[in-house]
Structure formats: structure tokens, C-alpha cells
């Protein structure tokens, strides 16, 4: 738990050294209760019939649509059909945008709207995600992994806990180096096994952790305690093909049809420009399709 806000310099050092940084109180106080209330309604809809969900048993897109037994995530919570405008209010708030421009070392005019989702506890079946980097498949060679890790990320992602959350595990520093032989074996053959040096990210309600999407990470989702954590990212314009795939693989066509106000509308316009640039091309998915062997629902906690 972090109690005081790190300085700009501390944020950048922590991200580059450890691959993550915790910022307390990034939620404007007046938004905390409305966010929790909106999240409760959203979770109820997600378990019932909201079409954009992460289903238990599958950990990467494409997400199945239609019937679902249990869910661990709610996608596209700024979608107007959900009728919960407080999520967009939070996503576009000064506190977040200032943190993002600090981390990406850019100006507000350079950032684009990307993903805004909710991570929740499944209500029937404990579930866990395997160790992964978001945009580098486990079979990647050492040499290629090092090259890919050198590339700028073109964005930042974060988890903001609306209730205390200890679900995310990271391997500090692993965003800067190829996997050790042991990590390689684990990520390929036994991807839920403990990794030496792993650390549980402990968030108090209201805390936000920003983390490199290529840090080795996984998450454990018990059916209780309740998890209600906003999971979102923003990127910089012109970040390139990998970033486009990482975002558009989640299905962002709906963003073309909506309209927000002010800053968010400008950020939406930048995302739509990125979508227009890849029209007609197959963006595909950042990680390989899951197989029956990699899909595991029950997990030893
Ligand atoms: O549950 C989390 O905190 C991490 C989610 C995650 O790793 C992912 O969406 O790829």
C-alpha cells in the first residue's frame, strides 16, 4: 500500500525500474460512490446479458458473445448503451489525464482514448490468468523478446481499485529483460506456477497501479472477496501497428458511432483516426489463440 503520492520523477523511475507504480487517490472523491454504484449495476448486467464480457475459462480476446456461465470482466463500460456516464467522466478526469501525460511524457493533444473495462470476481467458479506479457507470445525466442521489449509501448495501462484488490501478480523488472530459463519453462509449460520474485500488487480502494503491459503478470480471481477494479489504458497517437492490434483486438468499432464531450471527444477522434488507418487490414490478436490445454477454469488458490 502506498500512502503518499510519488513525485513525477519517482513515478518514472518506478515504472522504468520495476515496471509498475502505485498512485493513491487518483479518483476524484466526488466520483468514488457514483463509480461504485455504476459498477454494481454494470456487473449485474454483465452477468445477465451485456454482450461485451470476458468469460471464465478464456483469458484473451476474441471474447465469445452470447451465452455465458460466469464472467471475470466487463468490456466497453463507456459504451453509451450501458448508460453509465460516470465511467467516461472518470476516464477523462484531470487526475488521470495528468498521470498519463506524465507517464507517457507527452502532451494531452497526443493521447488517444483506448480501453475502459471492469475486472470483477467470478461469482461461481474461481479462475486465474496464466503468466503472460500482453503483446509478446510465450513461444518468442530470447533474442526476439529482447528486441520487442526495447520498443516503446506507445501507451500505458492501469488498474483502479474501487474495493481493496490483491488479485494482480507481477514479476518486478521483468518488462526489461528476456525471461530466465525457469520463467520461460513456467510460462510455456506450467503457466500458473509461482515465479521467483513474484509480487502481489496490493491496492486499497481508490489506489491505481500503472503497469507495463509487457511485465510478466498474471491474476487470480477467487469468487470472494468482491473485486471491482477499473482496468483501462490510453495511448499516444502514431504508436504503430502493435499498439493498434493490442487495442483493436478488443473490438472498438462502436467508438465510431458515439460522441463524448470536450477532451474525451478529441481523444475519441484520435482513436477513430487510428482505426481508419488500418481499415481493410486484418489486425489479428496479440497473443495466440487459446487451446483446450491452456484454458483452465478451476484453480488452486
Ligand atoms: O486482472 C488483472 O489485474 C490483470 C488483467 C490482465 O492481465 C489482462 O487483462 O491481460
Confidence (pLDDT) at 279: 84
**Nearest protein CA to atom 8 of ligand 1, as residue:** 134
Q: What strand order describes the sheet that includes 217-221?
A: 127-132, 217-221, 168-170, 199-200
State yes or no: pLDDT of 294 exceeds 90: no
**How does DSSP assign 76-98, residue by residue?**
-TT-GGG--THHHHHHT-HHHHH
pLDDT in tens, 55-78: 998 888 988 887 788 999 999 999
Rounded CA gap, 269 and 262, in Å? 11
| Ligand 1 pocket, mutate which of 62, 76, 131, 231 (most atoms under 8 A from CB) | 231
- Kindly state if the Cβ of 159 falls inside 6 Å of ligand 1: yes
What is the average pLDDT value for the chain, to the nearest integer?
Answer: 93
pLDDT in tens, 266-281: 999 999 999 999 888 8
> Is residue 87 within 8 Å of 75, Cβ to Cβ?
no
Length of the chain measured in residues: 301
pLDDT in tens, 9-22: 999 999 999 999 99
**How does DSSP assign 6-62, residue by residue?**
PPHHHHHHHHHHHSEEEES--S-HHHHHHHHHHHHHHHHHHHHT-S-EEETT--SSS
pLDDT band at 293 (very low <50, low <70, confident <90, very high): low
Task: Report the nearest atom of ligand 1 relative to the CA of 168.
Answer: 3
Confidence (pLDDT) at 126: 93
Domains, in order of start, for the chain:
8-277 (2.60.120.620)
Residue 79 CA: distances (Å) to CA of 52, 88, 288: 10, 9, 27
Confidence (pLDDT) at 1: 43
Task: Report the nearest atom of ligand 1 relative to the CA of 221.
Answer: 1
Amino acid at each position: 500500500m502506498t500512502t503518499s503520492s510519488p513525485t513525477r520523477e519517482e513515478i518514472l523511475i518506478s515504472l522504468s525500474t520495476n515496471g509498475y507504480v502505485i498512485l493513491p487517490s487518483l479518483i476524484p472523491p466526488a466520483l468514488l460512490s457514483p463509480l461504485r454504484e455504476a459498477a454494481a449495476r454494470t456487473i449485474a448486467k454483465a452477468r445477465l446479458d451485456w454482450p461485451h464480457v470476458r468469460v471464465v475459462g478464456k483469458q484473451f480476446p476474441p471474447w465469445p458473445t452470447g451465452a455465458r456461465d460466469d464472467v471475470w470482466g466487463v468490456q466497453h463500460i463507456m459504451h453509451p448503451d450501458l448508460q453509465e456516464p460516470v465511467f467516461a467522466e472518470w476516464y477523462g478526469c484531470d487526475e488521470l489525464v495528468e498521470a498519463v501525460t506524465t507517464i507517457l511524457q507527452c502532451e494531452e493533444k497526443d493521447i488517444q482514448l483506448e480501453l475502459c473495462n471492469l475486472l470483477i470476481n467470478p461469482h461461481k467458479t474461481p479462475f486465474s490468468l496464466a503468466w503472460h506479457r500482453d503483446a509478446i507470445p510465450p513461444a518468442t525466442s530470447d533474442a526476439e523478446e529482447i528486441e520487442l521489449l526495447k520498443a516503446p509501448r506507445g501507451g500505458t495501462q492501469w488498474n483502479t481499485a474501487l474495493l481493496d484488490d490483491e488479485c494482480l501478480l507481477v514479476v518486478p523488472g521483468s518488462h526489461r529483460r528476456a525471461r530466465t530459463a525457469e520463467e520461460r519453462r513456467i510460462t510455456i509449460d506450467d503457466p500458473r506456477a509461482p515465479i521467483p520474485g513474484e509480487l502481489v500488487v496490493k491496492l486499497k480502494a481508490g489506489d491505481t497501479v500503472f503497469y507495463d503491459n509487457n511485465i510478466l503478470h498474471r491474476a487470480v480471481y477467487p469468487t470472494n472477496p468482491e473485486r471491482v477494479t477499473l482496468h483501462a489504458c490510453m495511448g499516444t497517437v502514431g504508436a504503430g501497428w502493435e499498439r493498434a492490434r493490442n487495442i483493436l483486438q478488443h473490438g472498438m468499432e462502436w467508438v465510431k458511432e458515439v460522441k463524448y464531450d470536450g477532451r474525451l471527444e478529441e481523444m475519441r477522434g484520435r482513436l477513430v483516426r487510428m482505426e481508419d488507418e488500418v481499415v481493410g487490414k486484418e489486425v489479428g490478436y496479440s497473443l495466440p489463440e487459446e487451446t483446450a490445454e491452456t484454458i483452465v477454469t478451476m484453480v488452486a488458490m
